[in-house]
Amino acid sequence: MITLFWFMVVITIVVFFHELGHFIFAKLFKTKVEEFAIGMGPKLFSYKGKETEFRFNLIPLGGYVKIAGEEIEDGELSDNPELFYNKKPWQKFLIAFAGPLFSIILGYIVLSISGLLYGFPEVKIEDVIDDSPAYYVGIKPGDVIKKVNNNIVFDSSILSLAIKEGKLLDLEILRNNNIINLEIAPKLYNPEYTIIFKSEKIVNLNNKTIKSFNLNPPENIGSILPNLEKGDKLIIELNDGSKIEGKIKGYNISQKRYAIGVYFATFSNIINKDYPPFKKDDIILSINSKAINNGLDIIKYLTPLSLDSEDIMITITNNRISEYITPINSDNLNIIILRNGKTMDLTLSKKEFFKILQEPLILKYAFDKWRPKGFEIITVSIQWANTLLKAMVDTISQLFTGKVKTTEVMGPVGIAGVVGQAAKAGPEALISLIALITLNLGIVNLLPIPALDGGRIIFSIYEMITGKRTNPKVEAMIHTIGFIILMGLFVYFTYNDILRFFK
Determine the Cα–Cα distance for residues 456 and 474; give it in Å rounded to an integer: 12
Determine the Cα–Cα distance for residues 111 and 155; give it in Å rounded to an integer: 13
Q: Residue 64: count other Cβ atoms within 10 Å of its Cβ.
A: 17
Q: Among 75, 71, 99, 74, which Cα is nearest to 85's? A: 71
- Helices in 62-205 by DSSP H: which ranges? 89-118, 133-137, 156-164
Measured N-to-C along each axis, helices 472-502 and 412-425 cross at an angle, to the nearest 10 degrees, of 60
CA dihedral sign, ordered 448, 449, 454, 455: positive
Determine the Cα–Cα distance for residues 11 and 22; give it in Å rounded to an integer: 17
Determine the Cα–Cα distance for residues 455 and 271; give it in Å rounded to an integer: 49
Contacts of 151-156 with C-beta under 8 Å, sequence gap 24+, read 151/383, 152/379, 152/380, 152/383, 153/123, 154/120, 154/121, 154/123, 154/380, 154/383, 154/384, 155/120, 155/121, 155/123, 155/384, 155/387, 156/123, 156/264
Residue 136 has, within 13 A of its CA and on its CB side, a CA count of: 9
Q: Which amino acid is at 284?
A: I
Instruction: Name residues whose C-beta falls within 8 Å of residue 489's C-beta, 6 or more positions apart in sequence.
Output: none
Determine the Cα–Cα distance for residues 385 and 398; give it in Å rounded to an integer: 20
Per the CB < 8 A criterion, the answer to whether 61 and 139 are in contact is no
Question: Which residues are annotated as catalytic?
Answer: 19
3-class state of residue 84 by DSSP:
helix
Determine the Cα–Cα distance for residues 84 and 472; give it in Å rounded to an integer: 10
SS (H, E, C) 185-199: CCEEECCEEEEEEEE
| Phi and psi at residue 229, to the nearest 5° | -120, 165
